[in-house]
């Protein structure tokens, strides 16, 4: 079973917005609603989930998150992957996202290897739009963020 860590980045400008990212690569190009996610990635052996979440933000967004990471708990994605998530308040310009890349055979069975960014794009969204666009298995993270912010 795979275990990842990620971060739900939010800002208040003046209303609450969350930063969601759209995966890069050819399998995601035609998907929009239900495809947006939090930046996340695998936890290395012996690595703390919070450290992994910060590392993934750097790798996938090109940003250093210095703020306190508030735990949002674990979710299980449709494919079975467990994701430990955190929330942090941070502002950034999605147009400046600099993602790492991955390689895969493309087109399939062609023998050609192509490189794609892990994150195709990022976007700030209000709570209602985010609920409509986020990967369904990550929807509880939006509820947990709302609860966290309501509790002060």
Quick one: average pLDDT of 81-89? 97
Quick one: which of 111, 110, 150 has its CA closest to 127? 150
pLDDT tens digits, residue range 52-72?
999 999 999 999 998 999 999
pLDDT computed for residue 79 by the predictor: 87
25 has a pLDDT exceeding 80: yes
Global confidence as pTM: 0.93
**What percent of the chain has pLDDT above 90?**
91
pLDDT tens digits, residue range 109-150?
999 999 999 999 999 999 999 999 999 999 999 999 999 999
Burial class (CB in 10 A: 0-12, 13-18, 19+), 2: exposed
pLDDT computed for residue 85 by the predictor: 98
CA distance 79 to 1: 10
Tell me which of 2.60.200.30, 3.90.79.10, 3.40.50.1980, 3.40.50.720 is the CATH number of domain 3-151.
3.90.79.10
Compute the mean pLDDT over every residue in the chain, rounded to the nearest whole number: 95
With tokens 């739900």, the residue in question is 8
Task: List the domain boundaries for the chain.
Answer: 3-151
93 has a pLDDT exceeding 90: yes
């Amino acid at each position: 079973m795979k275990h990842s860590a990620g971060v739900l980045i939010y800002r208040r400008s003046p209303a609450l917005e969350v930063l969601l990212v759209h995966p890069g690569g050819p399998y995601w190009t035609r998907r929009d609603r239900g495809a947006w996610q939090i930046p996340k990635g695998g936890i290395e052996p012996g690595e703390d989930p919070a450290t992994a979440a910060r590392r993934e933000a750097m790798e996938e967004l090109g940003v250093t998150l210095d703020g306190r990471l508030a735990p949002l708990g674990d979710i299980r994605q449709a494919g079975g992957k467990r994701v430990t998530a955190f929330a942090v308040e941070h502002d950034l310009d999605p147009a400046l996202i600099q993602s790492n890349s991955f390689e895969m055979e493309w087109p399939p069975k062609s023998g050609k290897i192509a490189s794609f960014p892990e994150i195709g794009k990022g976007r700030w969204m209000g709570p209602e739009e985010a609920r409509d666009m986020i990967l369904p298995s990550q929807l509880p993270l939006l509820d947990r963020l709302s609860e966290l912010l309501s509790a002060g």
